[in-house]
Each structure stands twice: as structure tokens, then as C-alpha cells.
């Protein structure tokens, strides 16, 4: 389950599939708690940039205490928070990906170092399965701002059609959608529950149905 705790981001990357800006909704605590309590499986905390949510730490540690696994991606712009996340990920507490490519703004080099795995060093400090540096340049989904431009001519990269998040998608207002497609139909809400729709190919994402749907998520 993907929980979009904020629509806001402090960067404005050209390839952002969410088209996040500095303005947007933040999820309220009661909504987040209801979503986590209803699932308690594997969840992703998303945005926008999740670490800029005013209650990010409260959200994160509640999820860690309740869920089987927790994952998130960050742009690493809030240095102290990013360093703590890297440390927790190194210890196997959660999974964290640092988004780093030509479209993201520069960040503190210490953050990049913290997310860079050193095999010799890490072998002596328990498991390290949670850190990664993620470059989405080879897999840009044609959604959000990426849908309004081509990355083939300028960057030699083919923008692909598809779903930005092929998982149950909870928006900041608590509405639950089949997946992250812009027109994905609402299938319930965090407070009263939800029911998955049957998809044509057996996957949770109903991309073809989303494209035909007149319901705008």
C-alpha cells in the first residue's frame, strides 16, 4: 500500500510523475493512523517529498511499529533527516531509496555518502538491505510533469506509458484508489475500508481501466 502523506515537494524535477510542487495537501494524523491500522502489511510512505510533512517522524515510527515493512524514497534535501533514515536503513529497520539523478537539485555530499554502500564496512555492522541510490532515468513513467514533455530527444531516454504506482494508493484526504494512475477509480477510504476491483490482467493496477475511466482521482 502506498500512502501519499503529502502532495508537496521542495524540488520541481522535470520527470516527476506526481507533478509535485511546493503547494498541496498534507495528510492528517487520524487519516494516516486509520490507513496503517487497516493494512499493517508492507507500506510505502510517499509524496511529494515525504520528509517535509510536519508530522513525518510521528508517521514513520508509528508505521515501523505497526507494519511488516516500511519503505520510502527521499530526495535527501533535509540533511539531518536523510542521515537518520540512512542509518535506520543500514540497520534493517526500514527501506529507503535516495533519488539521485540529473533532474534533482544538489544535496549535501554527506547524504550521498551515507547511502553509498561499502561492502567491507557494512559486513561488520549487521544486515544492510535497506539503503539504495535510485536513478529513475532509465524508467521514466509518462505521468505528471513527465507526461507533458519528451525525454527521448533531450536525454536519449524513452518515456514509457504506465502506472506511476501499481499498488493500492491512499491520497492525503484518505480516499483509497486501485493504483496511482491519475484517473484510477476510488475503491474506498481509510476509515471505512476498500475493495479491490478485478483487473483484466490479474494485477492490482488497472491501467487500461484507469485510462477509460471518467472518474478523475
Residue 216: pLDDT band (50, 70, 90) is very low
pLDDT in tens, 16-60: 999 999 999 999 999 999 999 998 899 999 999 999 999 999 999
Q: 191: closest CA among 31, 21, 13? A: 31
Handedness of CA 123, 125, 129, 135 (dihedral sign): negative
Domains of the chain: residue spans and CATH: 2-151 (3.20.20.70), 162-187+194-217 (no CATH)
Residue 148 has pLDDT above 50, yes or no: yes
pLDDT band at residue 105 using 50, 70 and 90 as cut-offs:
very high
For the cut 70, the answer to whether the pLDDT of residue 103 exceeds it is yes
Distance (Å, whole) CA 194 – CA 192: 7
The answer to whether the CB of 6 falls within 8 A of the CB of 47 is yes
User: In the prediction, which pLDDT does 120 show?
Assistant: 47
d(C-alpha 151, C-alpha 142), whole Å:
10
Predicted confidence at residue 217, as pLDDT, reads: 37
Compute how many other C-beta atoms are within 10 angstroms of the C-beta atom of residue 24.
16
- The pTM of the whole model exceeds 0.85: yes
Q: At 106, phi and psi to the nearest 5?
A: -60, 145
Specify the range with the lowest mean pLDDT, choosing from 24-38, 65-79, 120-134.
120-134
Amino acid at each position: 500500500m502506498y500512502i501519499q502523506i503529502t502532495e508537496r515537494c521542495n524540488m520541481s524535477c522535470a520527470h516527476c510523475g506526481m507533478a509535485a510542487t511546493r503547494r498541496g495537501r498534507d495528510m492528517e494524523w487520524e487519516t494516516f493512523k486509520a490507513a496503517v491500522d487497516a493494512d499493517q502489511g508492507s507500506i510505502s510512505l510517499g509524496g511529494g517529498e515525504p520528509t517535509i510533512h510536519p508530522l513525518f517522524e510521528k508517521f514513520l515510527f508509528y508505521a515501523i511499529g505497526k507494519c511488516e515493512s516500511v519503505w520510502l524514497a527521499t530526495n535527501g534535501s533535509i540533511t539531518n533527516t536523510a542521515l537518520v533514515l540512512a542509518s535506520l536503513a543500514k540497520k534493517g529497520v526500514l527501506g529507503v531509496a535516495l533519488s539521485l539523478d540529473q533532474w534533482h537539485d544538489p544535496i549535501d555530499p554527506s547524504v550521498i555518502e551515507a547511502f553509498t554502500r561499502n561492502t567491507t564496512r557494512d559486513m561488520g555492522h549487521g544486515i544492510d538491505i535497506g539503503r539504495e541510490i535510485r536513478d529513475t532515468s532509465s524508467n521514466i513513467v509518462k505521468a505528471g510533469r513527465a507526461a507533458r514533455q519528451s525525454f527521448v530527444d533531450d536525454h536519449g531516454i524513452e518515456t514509457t506509458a504506465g502506472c506511476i504506482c501499481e499498488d493500492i494508493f491512499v491520497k492525503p484526504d484518505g480516499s483509497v484508489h486501485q493504483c496511482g494512475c491519475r484517473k484510477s477509480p476510488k475503491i474506498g477510504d481509510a476509515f471505512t475500508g476498500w475493495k479491490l476491483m478485478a483487473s483484466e490482467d490479474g494485477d492490482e493496477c488497472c491501467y487500461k481501466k484507469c485510462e477509460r475511466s471518467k472518474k478523475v482521482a
